[in-house]
Amino acid sequence: MARPGPGELPPARETALRALSRCLWRGQDLQAALDAALHEVRPGLLDAGLATELAYGYLRLKGRVDFALSRFLARPGEVPEKLALGLGLAAYELLFLDKVPAYASVSWAVEWAKGQGQGRLSGLFNAVLRRVAEVGEGARSPEFFRQDAADEVEFLCRWHSCPEWIVRLWRTAYGPERAEAYLAAQTRAPALGLVLAPGRQGRDLAHMLERDPDLLVRDGRGFAFPAGTELDLDAEAARHVTRQSFAAREALKVLAPGSWPEPVWDACAGRGNKTRHLQEMGKRVIASDIHHGRLKALRRALPEVPCFRARADLPAPLREAPGTVLLDLPCTGLGVLARRPDIKWKRSMKDARALARTQAAILDASYETVAPGGLVAVITCTLNPDENELLVEGFLKRTPGSKLVRQWTTPQDSQLGEFFFSALIEKGR
């Protein structure tokens, strides 16, 4: 493979920087931005893997990287935005990617800065990155991040690479010990969740996977393995495996969907993972979502399921009252920061308040559609009482005849690295 020319980036770094710039500055979800960048750059398999690690790893630990750079930059805010991103990515490599030689990380970043017409800054890149490389193992010790910290919150923001508003929210809502467990979890990649297709091939795969010594947990056709697990599956076997959060399946299971009255209306269906799960349980399901793209994907995957476009916070055009409404509510996503690390750098407390209001409107509207004696199932992937426990509590207070059947949150010591909330509400007859 030809070496990059002057100012050109190696494929993995080019892909990662394109994805990160789209994600942080244009508001795209990280995975969508990465998919687009991979399509444009078309790196080889190894470079694609490195690009993925760079993009996700950098956003998980951006707070640590920013602090390390601040120790050696007199005026960090004066580095142009695009250049600062490249500098941060190179610093992430130096601090947290053991398999990448330090000289390689410094070299590509310095040459790239020159190619951006920033000859003056290339010297700064060289000096700063060499100092960052000297930090070494210190970047993996909390004591490095305690330097000059004004208080415990500032230290936690640095060490756990998390914005202050989230740190304060979790400490206030859950207490210091539980908050630190959540903070630590979101700095690491989550467990690998898999769902096997029904049928003989899926059963054969299940027999193989259940004997894997790395298996964390299994539930029916759902499996979870430690992050980074590489399963030795041939192309035919891979066709019968879908990646899906095991923690999300767990949040649905605790609500005992097998006993839900029908039809079940999945009113925030997205791409239909929960719709499929309910259908495979033998439930009669209808589905809706507000997004055309998600509905298109759902119709392709589950053509036999009636689905339509609708806003869940408005009256729905239903021919019969559903026995159960499933609400996978829009939320801040603070429970899945390990899988979607870009969220923490984009969301704010203002977003959390706005989403809580939207959730309340969806819950009110959906409850009105349910047949007497029916159920409303609520699921979120966030850690914020206003979007979870207090949302349900407020609804019960203002809705005569409603009754809480079950409420659950992923345990803080879960090996899965993701945290969901779910609740089941019964409508009075």
3-state SS assignment for residue 260: coil
Q: Is the dihedral of CA 194, 199, 203, 205 positive or negative?
A: negative
Identify the band that residue 74 occupies on the pLDDT scale cut at 50, 70 and 90.
confident
Identify the band that residue 118 occupies on the pLDDT scale cut at 50, 70 and 90.
low
Q: Is the dihedral of CA 390, 392, 394, 396 positive or negative?
A: negative
Which pLDDT score is estimated for 79? 87
- List, for residues 199-218, the tens digit of each pLDDT value: 888 888 999 999 999 999 99
- List, for residues 4-17, the tens digit of each pLDDT value: 554 579 999 999 99
Q: Are 63 and 162 in contact (CB under 8 A)?
A: yes
Q: Are 322 and 368 in contact (CB under 8 A)?
A: no
139-154 average pLDDT score = 95
pTM (2 decimals)? 0.93
11-185 and 247-426, same CATH topology: no
71-77 average pLDDT score = 87
245-271 average pLDDT score = 95
Q: Cα separation of 281 and 222, whole Å?
A: 13
273-277 average pLDDT score = 90
Cα angle for residues 57, 34, 158 (degrees, 5° grid): 25
Percent of the chain with pLDDT over 70: 98
DSSP string, 191-259: PEEEEEPSSHHHHHHHHHHTT-TT--EEETTEEEE-TT------HHHHTTEEE--HHHHHHHHTT-GGG
Identify the band that residue 73 occupies on the pLDDT scale cut at 50, 70 and 90.
very high
Which pLDDT score is estimated for 140? 92
Which pLDDT score is estimated for 148? 94
Which pLDDT score is estimated for 122? 86
247-426 folds as Rossmann fold (3.40.50)
Which pLDDT score is estimated for 117? 74
3-state SS assignment for residue 314: coil
Identify the band that residue 66 occupies on the pLDDT scale cut at 50, 70 and 90.
very high
Q: Is the dihedral of CA 281, 286, 290, 295 positive or negative?
A: positive
More confident residue, 159 or 78: 159
Q: Where are the domains of the chain?
A: 11-185, 192-244, 247-426
- List, for residues 380-417, the tens digit of each pLDDT value: 999 999 999 999 999 999 999 999 999 999 999 999 99
- List, for residues 29-62, the tens digit of each pLDDT value: 999 999 999 999 999 999 999 999 999 999 999 9
What is the CB-side half-sphere exposure of residue 47 using CA atoms within 13 A? 16
Q: Are 205 and 196 in contact (CB under 8 A)?
A: yes
DSSP annotation of 138: G
219 Cβ partners below 8 Å, 6+ apart? 246, 249, 250, 253
pLDDT at 1 over 50: no
- List, for residues 333-388, the tens digit of each pLDDT value: 999 999 999 999 999 999 999 999 999 999 999 999 999 999 999 999 999 999 99
11-27 average pLDDT score = 97
Domain 11-185: give its CATH code: 1.10.940.10
**311: phi then psi, degrees, rounded to nearest 5:** -85, 130
pLDDT at 2 over 50: no
Q: Which residues of 182-197 are buried (b: 16+ CB within 10 A; e: fewer)?
A: bbebbbebbbbbbbbe
Mean pLDDT value across the chain = 93
Q: Cα separation of 414 and 65, whole Å?
A: 27
Percent of the chain with pLDDT over 90: 78
* Tokens coding 3: 């070496």
pLDDT at 111 over 80: yes
pLDDT at 233 over 80: yes
Q: How far is CA 135 from CA 58, 64, 323, 357, 376, in A?
A: 17, 12, 59, 45, 52
What is the CB-side half-sphere exposure of residue 234 using CA atoms within 13 A? 3
Identify the band that residue 162 occupies on the pLDDT scale cut at 50, 70 and 90.
very high
